[in-house]
Chains A and B, each alone.
Chain A
Amino acid sequence: GQNIDQPTEMTATEGAIVQINCTYQTSGFNGLFWYQQHAGEAPTFLSYNVLDGLEEKGRFSSFLSRSKGYSYLLLKELQMKDSASYLCAVSYGYNTDKLIFGTGTRLQVFP
């Protein structure tokens, strides 16, 4: 079966750093995505990890350990607008990179 786990909710303070963890067990693995989604809107691409290690992109960084089935998204210098759901998704498949999503982590940033 396919299983992707993330914490349901997290809270943090403006200007702080927050780490959102994701563990996965899937029948295949091509890569791991992180998306940001505001309620009722489309998921916005944040990062894509294929190899083990850390990918840094501005205030956002994403880490992957394929052997451990583990990833995290690190958000630095939090801003109020970062309040959203963060979706961890694994792409898998032979002829395609269909995504299977975790249930998402709702992050609330307080002043």
Chain B
Amino acid sequence: DAKTTQPTSMDCAEGRAANLPCNHSTISGNEYVYWYRQIHSQGPQYIIHGLKNNETNEMASLIITEDRKSSTLILPHATLRDTAVYYCIGRYSGNEKLTFGTGTRLTIIP
């Protein structure tokens, strides 16, 4: 699985869009980009994943660059409940496991 690099921490004002970057320059062609988050003391929660195209669901949008070496998770209107550690993970199709890195600690500021 590709090694991913994320900023250690970020702040975002409540109501604004939170843009969380992730570098995955060694990602291979059939490797998906997954995003999970972990709110304090809870289990990790799936957010979104994608391969090449941009993806959107009810929680977030995922923008993947054309060369697939980086991606951005966008929370369109951040709320205080979005304060969490966000993990960007590369995962091969058919790979049974998710390998978590250190993630980005996102703090939403009132």
Instruction: Note whether A and B form a binding pair.
Output: no
